[in-house]
């Protein structure tokens, strides 16, 4: 089971939480509370002023009530999971998210099944678009391990752009920072199919390990283990313009 990491961005009064989430008025919600129809984390409560966090399990007459508002999540994608809402072969990243209707979340920039690291998911389609559209030039940083040594001239080749097999346009300028003979950080502002692997293939090398560390100003939280996730803070959400 994925561990649920949270910043309590959504901590709010229970009556407000219920009203905003379900559309019932505060007065109606208070009546339901009074009748013992609401439970929080397994305990029936009549306290309208109780402060609930985003990870609380809130039930109304036994049915789960989602936290109100859009959801913004960072997940540490483990190997072996696909960035898809539905897949016949591999488990999906959304299966790691323990929220109702997690399969309706937008996956902002997909990673290959064998790539690990930061995946952002949201219910806000416009926000997802700002991350994935090359027009917004959101930098995505990948830590890459290669089969062969990475030559210095690769820095300029990545900066100039490379022609990838069966594509008509050069890749956009990418930053390559060589960390050691076989390790580098690559920053891309676009997300073509298998792009990092194909860029290294274009210079005669092979990627043997790939991990996404950050997307724009949002860095993978080092407190997360593979398979774990947490909600984004307000500052992280607002960093995507
Ligand atoms: N580039 C790749 O080749 N694979 C990924 O998963 C992400 C970027």
Q: Considering only CA atoms, which residue is closest to atom 4 of ligand 1?
A: 194
Same domain, 166 and 231: no
Residue 142, pLDDT score: 98
Of 78-87, 147-156, 175-184, 206-215, where does mean pLDDT reach its minimum?
Answer: 78-87
Query: Domain of 143?
Result: 139-215
Which atom of ligand 1 is least distant from the CA of 115?
A: 6
Q: Of residues 112, 114, 221, 234, which has the active-site annotation?
A: 112
Judgement on whether residues 105 and 13 belong to the same structural domain of the protein: no
In the predicted structure, residue 4 carries a pLDDT above the cut 70: no
Ligand 1 atom nearest to 188, measured from its CA: 8
Same-domain pairing of 155 and 174: yes
Among 139, 187, 196, 207, the mutation site with the greatest number of ligand 1 atoms within 8 A of its Cβ is 196
Asked if 99 and 208 sit in the same domain, the reply is: no
Tell me the pLDDT of the chain averaged across its residues: 91
Domain boundary among 65, 83, 110: 65
Give the chain's length.
241
Which residues pair with residue 116 across a beta bridge? 211
Residue-level pLDDT at 205: 98
Q: Mind listing the pLDDT tens digit for each residue in 54-100?
A: 778 899 988 888 778 888 999 999 999 999 988 889 999 999 998 77
Residue nearest to atom 3 of ligand 1 (CA): 194
Position 7 confidence tier, pLDDT thresholds 50, 70, 90: very low
- Using the 3D structure, point to which of 32, 65, 98 is the last residue of a domain: 65
pLDDT tens track for 35-49: 999 999 999 999 999
Domains contained in the chain, number = 3
Judgement on whether residues 230 and 125 belong to the same structural domain of the protein: yes
Q: Can you give the CATH number for the domain in which 39 is found? A: 3.10.290.10
Q: 197 CB less than 6 Å from ligand 1? A: yes
Quote the pLDDT of residue 1: 37
Residue 148: which CATH number?
3.30.70.1560
Asked which of 17, 48, 65 is the last residue of a domain, the reply is 65
**Is it the case that residue 30 has pLDDT exceeding 50?**
yes
Catalytic-residue membership of 47: no
For residues 168 and 124, state if they share a domain: no
Q: What confidence tens digit (pLDDT) does each residue in 10-26 have? A: 578 999 999 888 878 88
Instruction: Summarize pLDDT for 191-212 with one digit per residue, the tens.
Output: 999 999 999 999 999 999 999 9
Are residues 52 and 101 located together in one domain of the fold?
A: no
* CA-based nearest residue to 10, from 69, 84, 74: 69
Whether residues 161 and 200 share a domain: the answer is yes
What gap in Å lies between CA 117 and CA 130, rounded to an integer? 20
Q: Is 186 in the pocket of ligand 1 (CB under 6 A)?
A: no
pLDDT of residue 214: 98
In this structure, the answer to whether residues 130 and 145 fall within a common structural domain is no
- The CATH number of whichever domain residue 128 belongs to comes to 3.30.70.580
CB-CB neighbours of 34 under 10 Å: 11
pLDDT digits (tens, 9 = 90+) for 99-135: 777 888 999 999 999 999 999 999 999 999 999 988 8
């Amino acid at each position: 089971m994925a561990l649920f990491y949270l910043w309590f961005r959504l901590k709010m009064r229970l009556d407000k939480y219920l009203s905003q989430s379900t559309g019932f008025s505060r007065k109606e919600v208070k009546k339901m509370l009074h009748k013992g129809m609401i439970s929080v984390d397994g305990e029936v409560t009549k306290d309208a002023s109780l402060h609930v966090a985003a990870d609380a399990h809130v039930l109304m007459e036994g049915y789960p009530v989602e936290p109100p508002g859009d959801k913004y999540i960072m997940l540490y994608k483990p190997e072996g999971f696909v960035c898809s809402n539905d897949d016949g072969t591999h488990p999906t990243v959304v299966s790691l998210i323990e929220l109702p209707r997690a399969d309706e979340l937008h996956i902002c920039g997909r990673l290959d099944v064998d790539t690990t690291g930061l995946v952002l998911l949201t219910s806000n389609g416009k926000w997802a678009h700002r991350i994935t559209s090359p027009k917004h030039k959101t930098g995505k940083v990948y830590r890459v391990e290669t089969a062969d040594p990475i030559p210095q001239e690769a820095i300029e080749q990545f900066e100039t752009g490379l022609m990838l097999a069966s594509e008509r346009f050069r890749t956009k300028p990418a930053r390559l920072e060589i960390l050691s003979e076989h390790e580098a950080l690559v920053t891309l502002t676009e997300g073509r199919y298998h792009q990092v692997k194909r860029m290294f293939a274009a210079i005669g090398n092979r990627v043997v390990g790939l991990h996404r560390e950050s997307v724009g100003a949002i860095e993978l939280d080092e407190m997360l283990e593979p398979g774990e996730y947490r909600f984004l803070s307000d500052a992280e959400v607002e960093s995507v313009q």
